Structure 1
Amino acid sequence: MEVWELKHSKKELRMEKKKKRLNALLTIATLNNNDGRGRLPNSDQEQTPDVQDCSAAKKSKKESAESVSNVDGMDFQNGHENLKDSACNNLSNGDSETQNQDYKKLKAEEKKLISGRKKPNLLLKTPGNQASLSTYVADRVPILFTDVQHLLLNSTIGHKSPYLPLRWCHLEKSNKISHTVVTVVEGVSLYDFCAWESHFEFAKYLPHQLEVVTPSLYSGSTIDELAVIPLTDLEKESLVKEYGSMDAAMETRKDLMSMMRAVFPVKAGLRPNLSSDEIKDNFSRTQLVLSTWQLVEENYPLPLKGKLKTSYSDYKMTKDEYEPVSASSPLFAIDCEMCRTRSGLELTRITVVNEEYQVIYETYVLPYNKITDYLTAYSGITEKKLSNVATRLEDVQKTLIELLPPNAILVGQSLNFDLHALKMMHPYIIDTSIIFNMTGDRTRKTKLKHLAKQFLKKNIQVGANGHCSLEDAVTSLKLVKLKLAKHLAFGDAILKSKQNVEEYDHLKTKHSEYASSIFNQVIPKNKSCLIVGSEKVLESYSKYLKGFHNDDSDSKVKVICENENAAIIDNISNFAKDFNLTLAHLNFESQQLTNVDTFTTLGNWIDKIWENIEDKCLTVVILAGNETCNGAIFIGIKKNKR
């Protein structure tokens, strides 16, 4: 009996050790998993976790790790003595079987956790959460179609993509995505979703729901926004080396295109073709103008929501319509000083300087709200300086609208703050805090006084009287003109660290953005595409499909022409799982959008697509919006329970 008891007590002890070790490891794995989801990589706008929560998590992980160590180093003899006394009772009560069952449950839990790690997952960063439909509309900042395009590239070709959606989301395990299905619903807007939300059943399994800027607001098209991809610097350099210039590459490579996208109303037309004698700078100043993408990243005010009531509803554009920016567009440096009032920071002084450093507008401004702090050490504003001021914000706005030409380039240090103080929007910006970089990190800006000291050998913002808007405006303009007299990489530690300055010389004559198509990125990487839509839709896509689409069964691109929405849905359901990327476009007439049956049918169609796609498929439904209302995007990854 003694031998039998000892044998089984040892067996139980081993089982108990296994359970404890497995329990501890699962605890650590779970804490690590939660920790990882709380902190997203490559996010410069992360939420700082609560210090106590972090400490508690670290403590739990430490205790769990110690428990693993204790189990591994457990004195077997002591454990044996503890179990020996109750061995017979435990066995007679069937506890050995119970322990086996508990161990199996823990192993199943471990398997589930490991399996979950292998599945793709989409996590929103701060800009993504700000665009979420769950965010109060006044605080919501929509994403762009460019953001959506970057997600599609990431899900289709993984980290080989030239652009990743790092600004607004993080796609975990992108290489595990089985395929990507995009259904664009033309003509349907965010307003329609809000009005008929109960009929959009698919919203339940597409959990990421965000507002997106509709291309209709700037005379764009969803097809162009999804298909056109700007060339990276490395791609442009490669083309220049191969063909001699971008113009020669454009002539030879018919898949390349020149493009200019913006959310501001810019007149259609070509930029002036200037001779070398007419160009004042060593390279085109348009190269320093921030892109729409950069304006969004740097929190510049943009007319993103059309006629809808938004947080920028009281902002004004500097012009009703703009001319294309060019190498001859005039520079105007602007600097504003602000004081703190009961409603926040408000404008109290503005200075505008033209390219010849002449002051063309300068005034103090009296806020409507009571000033609580003049911030004299920074603003230079005192109560005495504002004592007889009658100029108000709307007076400044009116003057700037009359003063600035339609192709003006505004220059300044972190000019986004000045434009918010002015409550104005402008498309062409050169920001010295971006084009100059001494830190080697785009998220760490160098102050204007340090830039002036380093590059102009000038001391500014000295003394106890605070900043001077005239001094700051002139300094910003001098920095820009100095860079234009040098080269693109001048004053930029990041560009200098990438390549030698000489390798940027070929960019001097660049007057526009060059682009290729999404198919040029996807097809060469051995991925396949399916495009389904009406004759009109396919005609729009055809210019991006040159050299890819043919009638061969081995073609990596399949095009299906259907003019009926129901037939388009059938084709997506039947064939999407056979392609890496599916792009489909539905279209509704305006009269259909007043009928509840339209949205019930649409919901049923999306359900049908969802039922027929494979596990780990990234599904995207885009309500494209219209001229009066933005669109919405719904994103989900199918995860079958197995």
Structure 2
Amino acid sequence: MTMSSLKRDKRLESKKRKAAAFLQLVKEEDDETEPVKKKMTEESQTNPTAQPSGSTGNKKSNNFQQMAEEELLKLRQALRERQKAAMEKPKVFLTLEELARENVSHFETDLKEEEIPPLFISDVQSLILFAVQGSACRMKPRWCRLLRCTKVTSIVVMVMNGVSNIELEKYPNSFPTIRNAFQTHIEVVNPSQYAKSVPTELFCVLPPRQQRTLVAKSIKMKQDEKEEESLNKPEDPLKETEAEENPLHPALHGDDSFPRTQLLLSTAQLMQEKYPLPVQYSNVNTSDFKFTKEEYLPVNDKSPMFALDCEMCMTKARQSELTRVSIVNEKLETLYDTLVKPYNRITNYLTKYSGITKELLDPVTTRLSEVQKKIQELLPADAILCGQSLGGDLRAVKMYHPYVIDTSCIYNLTGRAGMKTGLKRLTEMFVREKIQEGTEGHDSVEDSVATMKLVQHKLKHNLNYGDVRMGWTAIDSNPEEVADEKEPEFKLIKMEESDENIELNPLPKHIISRQSAFFRMEKYFNSMFEVLQKYGRTAAMVTDQETVKKFGMDNGVIGIESDSDKKTKSLVKSHVQFHDFVYCSFDNYLTHLNENTTEEKIVHCLEKMDNRVGKILKNVKQNSLVIVIVPGRSNQRQEHSGTTFVKIKE
């Protein structure tokens, strides 16, 4: 069932409910007037001469009917006023099709689908930014919809550190406030899985590509000036020249006119495009997925690129499975091309698209595990994989890879992120070559070569080239010229290397480092507090000393250190009345949690935390967006995911 049909069914159901409510009102009015009508009928039968035709009896009947109609008009007017008042209030609700279920006030879930995409704390960031920026927000929330965001009076974020879904399910009676006050909630991945924290995920905003390009452009200009100066100086034959290392980008590769790392999909885009990500998530089964490398090196602007394309068929398992995989390098040489036999019986070879037939696959003995091993041997640790909608190919080979360029994303001819242009048309339009011309299906080598040519073609121009969302148009007389770019709206803040706290997770460092490659934090980012300040919003945070020092030192944010949950509660109760954004964290449970913690102590801590959330909630302004984050927790053997609760304070 499509999303449009689901929406249509919902509208029909809504109309049915309104009609039923209207009939019920009419029925109640009829029930109230029925005894009076019955009495009038009896009186007219016993004394027919007392009430001739057109007498007071009929007048009374007409009066009662008129009164019923007037009462109905009043009810209709009240209903219209109520609807009008509702339109003046913000509203938040889930929109993911996989999460489209009746919200309930307990923590059990009836979702059985394995295709539910992982949701992250950065998804909560997108909701906060949308509540502040409205239509100007470049990354809309992918998991919920916020209606009438201009009516949101304030935003309050409360973090219950150390608490996970284990506590929510095991001790449901310890959370009466959350159970009763919040009906909208989503499960989220614990950020410590990839060496991040809730504040880092919330407050570090990835700058738009245009802004990053300006920074790279200014640095390249400085490099060119220095190179020109060095050319004008007499060369000293006794002195060896050393390549100056770029503080933001290393030297560009070959014919690239801008850094190729600017084309890499960000973490948010990886999520949006449904790429497989290496996180433990309760509703996603990725136990048989493997990494393309055991360890990854940091990607740079000289990292080699490889194009990958796969062909699939349908099997008895009712899913598409790999039948062919091809990889080419930047010289357009085929490094790997093999047919693959699925473990499950094939029900449809999809020959029209894949070019695979029974005769081709019958003698094949290569299995998926061999393909995975070969890819691990073939790719270097900083390899950039290119492909058209590459997420589907990576799911087919059942592998994770952190550095990807997707031609369906870097080229956009529609102006809408969700509407992709096919590889055939892109190749014909930009590379001036025709592919997929035959009737015997696609050739994965041909498609890989076309993908690599498209990426190289864009790198010879500029970041805007081929993307109408960034100002490019197909009728430009000189499309190589970059469209006029505005000055960066927000300043870039440098993230120090030490800010990546590996100790957040007790797993071995090389495993965390590998996972972190997928959730890399750019060296330069925008601060959420600067965004708030730009939009005239005041902000305050009440949390631990480290977080206040790291994020609350500028941009007008009031940072208050707190060493106890009791103090945090008291401070936040007053600040939510005067500020547009308030962030706080409760940390006592995490400090008390260890192997010797008794069940009684756990229950007590959880109840106190929930009680403090409730007291803050009572003081929050009406029509505020309230978010409670249960981030999850890590231990030596297992990752425990968390939950984010959202509501509009009424």
Q: Please give the residue correspondences for 1:114-193 in structure 2 after superposition, counting only pairs within 5 Å.
A: 114-126=84-96, 129=99, 134-136=110-112, 138-155=114-131, 157-159=132-134, 162-163=137-138, 165-193=140-168
Check conservation: 1:483, 1:491, Cα contact below 8 A.
yes
Answering whether residue 439 of structure 2 is matched by residue 464 of structure 1, we say yes
Q: Is the 8 A contact 2:462 2:482 kept in 1?
A: no
Q: CA deviation at 1:410?
A: 0.6
Say if 1:109 and 1:349 are closer, same or farther in 2 by CA, change over 3 A. same
Q: 2:221 & 2:122 partners in 1: Cα distance?
A: 25
1:455 aligns with 2:410: no
Q: Assess, with a 3 A threshold, how the Cα gap between structure 1 residues 150 and 161 changes in structure 2: closer, same or farther.
A: farther
Alignment partner of 1:416 is 2:398 = no
- Alignment partners' CA distance in 2, 1:305 and 1:584: 27
Once the two structures are TM-superposed, the CA of residue 274 in structure 1 deviates from its matched residue by: 3.5
RMSD (Å), alpha carbons: 3.5
1:522 is the counterpart of 2:532: yes
SS of corresponding position for 2:482: helix
5 Å-filtered alignment, 1:336-485, equals 336-343=310-317, 344-485=319-460
Distance 2:528 2:96 in 1: 26
Letter in 2 for 1:635: V
Mark the CA change 1:470 to 1:120 in structure 2 (over 3 Å): closer, same or farther.
same
Q: Which residue of 1 aligns with 2:481?
A: 502
Cα 1:99–1:436, aligned 2, differ >3 Å: closer, same or farther?
Answer: closer
Report the identity percentage: 33
Could you tell me whether the CA contact under 8 Å between 2:471 and 2:483 is conserved in 1? no
Aligned to 1:220, which of 172, 196, 208?
Answer: 196
561 and 87 in structure 1: CA distance in 2 versus 1, 3 angstrom threshold: farther
Q: Residues 364 and 391 of structure 1 are in contact (CA less than 8 Å); yes or no, is this contact kept in structure 2?
A: yes
**For the Cα contact (< 8 Å) 2:156–2:626, is it kept in 1?**
yes
Distance 1:602 1:60, change over 3 A: closer
Distance in 2, matches of 1:547 and 1:401, equals 45
Contact 1:46 1:125 in 2 (8 A): no
Deviation per CA, 1:122-169, whole angstroms, max 9, x where unpaired? 0222268279955337443232222211212233x3427544534222
Shift of 1:98: 4.8
Distance (whole Å) between structure 1 residues aligned to residue 455 and residue 301 of structure 2 = 14
Alignment match, 1:203 = 179
Equivalences for 1:260-279 in 2 at 5 Å? 274-275=250-251, 279=254
Q: Note closer, same or farther for the CA distance 1:56–1:527 as it changes in structure 2 (3 Å cut).
A: closer
C-alpha contact (below 8 Å) 1:128/1:210 kept by paired residues? no
Distance in 1 (CA, whole Å) between partners of 2:267 and 2:323 is 28
Distance 1:143 1:57 in 2: 29
Q: Cα 1:317–1:271, aligned 2, differ >3 Å: closer, same or farther?
A: farther
Whether the aligned pair in 2 keeps the contact of 1:271 and 1:325 (CA below 8 Å) is no
How far did residue 198 of structure 1 move? Answer: 3.0
SS of alignment partner, residue 473 of structure 1 = helix
Over 3 Å counting, the alpha-carbon distance change for 1:204 and 1:139 in structure 2 is farther
Q: Give a deviation string over 1:88-107, Cα, whole Å, max 9, x none.
A: 53437862555544433332
State the distance in 1 between where 2:113 and 2:172 align: 16
Distance 1:359 1:178 in 2: 58
For the residues of structure 2 that align with 1:272 and 1:231, how far apart are their CA atoms?
14
Aligned residues: 537
1:91 corresponds to which residue?
60
Aligned mates of 2:14, 2:398 — CA distance in 1: 44
- Tell me the distance in 2 between the aligned counterparts of 1:245 and 1:321: 30
Offset at 1:576?
1.2
2: CA distance between counterparts of 1:116 and 1:87?
44
In structure 1, stretches of 5+ residues that fail to align are 1-44, 63-83, 249-268, 549-556
501 and 565 in structure 1: CA distance in 2 versus 1, 3 angstrom threshold: farther
Deviation of the 1:512 alpha carbon = 5.6
The structural deviation recorded for 1:296 is 0.9
2: CA distance, partners of 1:539 / 1:60: 53
After TM superposition, the score normalised by the length of structure 2 is 0.75
Distance verdict in 2 for CA 1:455–1:106, change over 3 Å: closer
Aligned 8 A contact 1:413 1:431 in 2:
yes
- Give the partner amino acid of 1:546: D
- What is the DSSP-based 3-state SS (H/G/I as helix, E as strand, rest coil) of the residue aligned with 1:577? coil
Partner in structure 1 of residue 627 of structure 2: 620
Worse-matched range after superposition: 522-531 or 120-129: 120-129
Kindly indicate whether the alpha-carbon contact (under 8 Å) linking 2:533 and 2:555 is maintained by their aligned counterparts in 1. Answer: no
Is 228-237 or 127-136 further displaced after alignment? 127-136
Letter of the 2:338 partner, please give it.
T
- Residue 559 of structure 1 corresponds to which residue in structure 2? 559
Q: CA deviation at 1:246?
A: 9.9
Gaps of 5+ in 2: 20-52, 104-108, 223-244, 487-491, 493-520
